[in-house]
Homo-oligomer: A and B are copies of this chain.
Amino acid sequence: MQRLKCTIAYDGTNFAGYQIQPNKRTVQGELERALATMHKGQSIRVFASGRTDAGVHAHGQVVHFDSPMTIPGAGWLKALNALLPDDIVVKEVEKVDSSFHARFSAASKEYRYKVRIAKEKDVFSRNYAFHFPYPLNYDAMKEALQFVVGTHDFTSFCSAKTETEDKVRTIYEADFVISDSELIFKFVGNGFLYNMVRILVGTMLDVGQGKIHPADIPAIIKGKDRRLAGKTAPSHGLYLWKVYYDN
């Protein structure tokens, strides 16, 4: 058996999310279908670094699977891309040691969130950026983001439905850049809770509008109450950008 690590990108628009579900079009479902075709019907389970919700995109999701087939690296890439629908692309395939696990070996993850700040509606970015054409105080947002960096209990910044017990996570980087008509948030951390990036973004947009003061962020974190933070920003602005592994 050979373990393969794949870096994939997908347009989340027409998927009911990453994780396989009966009678729904999912990224995992499409990957496993392509692998079953390659393996003459044998079912091959795919393990991802984590799930993404419906509408959420991936620029660099990582998955792994085990295969009895012996194919050179470039062969896997071509074969999988030929069998996958055009909204999933395999960007890289690497042979890895059997100790590698897409989820458990991940050291950190990077998410980005695109906000279209231009006033005019744009048909071409409607599924790829959240349109938020209101004045924002960027200095206040930068200040607020600095309170997010570090090791905190992020109970206030995850869906109340989160089942994970331990809500302590470390954020290494929380920033944004303004490019053209877009504001792009970047978050790097050792792990993210359910809806965490989308709630962080919604809260930062509240800060930018003066609804929340940057200095209130520590109290929102300490309060451990989802109702203290801002709204959950919509899924279609979110990108799982990169998964980092220690080599």
Number of copies: 2
**Residue from B9, B11, B122 within 8 A of A89 (CB atoms):** B122
Q: A122 near B86 (CB under 8 angstroms)?
A: no
Interface size on A, residues (CB 8 A): 17
A81 proximal to B (CB < 8 A): yes
Q: A88 near B9 (CB under 8 angstroms)?
A: no
How many angstroms between the C-alpha atoms of A104 and B128 in the bound complex? 36
Q: A126 near B91 (CB under 8 angstroms)?
A: no
Q: Give the shortest distance, in Å, between A246 (CB) and chain B (any CB).
A: 25
A198 proximal to B (CB < 8 A): no
Q: A81 near B121 (CB under 8 angstroms)?
A: yes
A57 proximal to B (CB < 8 A): yes
Chain B residues whose CB sits within 8 angstroms of the CB of A126 once the complex forms:
11, 86-87
Chain B residues whose CB sits within 8 angstroms of the CB of A120 once the complex forms:
89, 91
Q: A11 near B124 (CB under 8 angstroms)?
A: yes
How many angstroms between the C-alpha atoms of A9 and B237 in the bound complex? 21
Q: Give the shortest distance, in Å, between A23 (CB) and chain B (any CB).
A: 23
Shortest beta-carbon contacts, A-B, top 5? A11-B123, A89-B121, A89-B123, A9-B123, A86-B126
